[in-house]
Amino acid sequence: MTHPSDTLLSLLEPVLGAGARGAITDLDLPEIHAGADAGDGISRAAFAIALSVALHHDLLNRVPTGAAYVADCRAAGRPILLDHGALRTIALPDGAPTGAIPAGIGAFTRILDPLGYAIVDTYPLDRLRMTGYAFCHRDDPEGIAQYFVSELHVDRFDDAFAAAAARVFAGTVDVLDDIARRALDGFARDGRVSLDLARAALPVIVRAFDRHHPVPGLEDYGILKAASAEAAWIATEGNAFNHGTDRVDDVEAVADAQRAAGRSMKDRVEVSGSGRVRQTACRADWVERPFRDAEGRDVTMSVPGSFYEFISRDPDPATGRLDLRFDSGNAQGIFKMTEALDA
């Protein structure tokens, strides 16, 4: 359990309010934040940690299955070791921007790069017509949560799909304001910003991890869903955390325990080609989301939302360090957790 430093609490209270302390203590966070002296400003690493805490907290508010798992861990005195969070993005044809935000992973590179992240690996997800990118923190690769950001390539689908995608996503707005941009510029230039600027910027940057395009049309949603469960998910959930991941010692034992608790789990554990990375997940919780019908009326439907994942990582014998890589096959298997399982 992490003892919340005054600095981390100060950063997170504008976002999470009274929930900030619990959100911190639920996680096994690196000690790097404890040395962040507000008098010297907030380091990019401390801000990155605060961002991951806020996004994990938001995920639990949307994923009851994940919240129940975290509550079990809390009761057992075991904090969550947040391995990574996953994001999905849309890449429209010819590199066109997604409305007012950059195309594909550019929507998040502009945030993650100034905060100290670097793309360390690229993973073709050809069955899904996507590409995945692993963002790892330069200052503490093992301790600070990674991001697995995927990009759906609209130009690999037919014209009807591309037209529907344009109608759904072209109206995306950019929520980053001058304060957020000033903070990101400061992190990129100096590696730290003042506490006041960091406190003002964090709520804005957290809001970027959400849906910021208009309510999708029901017909367009149907076109996307027929060809890509992933595109349909982005249409309703936007750039929110698709899943968060607890790094555990024995993923098979965790999966068995979750099934015993009555939680709907993936049928099998995904094992990387190296054998060192093993992953499984709960199936996505269902959520109610708005749509517009052909007459422009508001309708609500139940659709797959986000989910919670579990991962075990072994050391890489070549380096002696924890194998932080992902695996294309594993990722494509895990992505199936947000497919609609129609009765």
Domains present along the chain, CATH in parentheses:
1-62+186-209 (no CATH), 79-175+212-338 (3.10.180.50)
What's the whole-number average pLDDT of the chain? 93
pLDDT-derived band at 5, boundaries 50, 70, 90: confident
Q: Cα-Cα-Cα-Cα dihedral of 252, 257, 260, 262, to 10°?
A: -100
CA 201 to chain centre: 19
Q: What is the pLDDT of residue 337?
A: 62
pTM of the model: 0.94
Token output for 326:
């992902």
Q: What is the mean pLDDT of residues 204-217?
A: 98
Q: What is the pLDDT of residue 169?
A: 98
Judged against a pLDDT cut of 80, whether residue 35 lies above it is answered with no
Which residues, 6+ apart, have CB-to-CB distance to 204 below 8 Å? 175, 176, 177, 179, 180
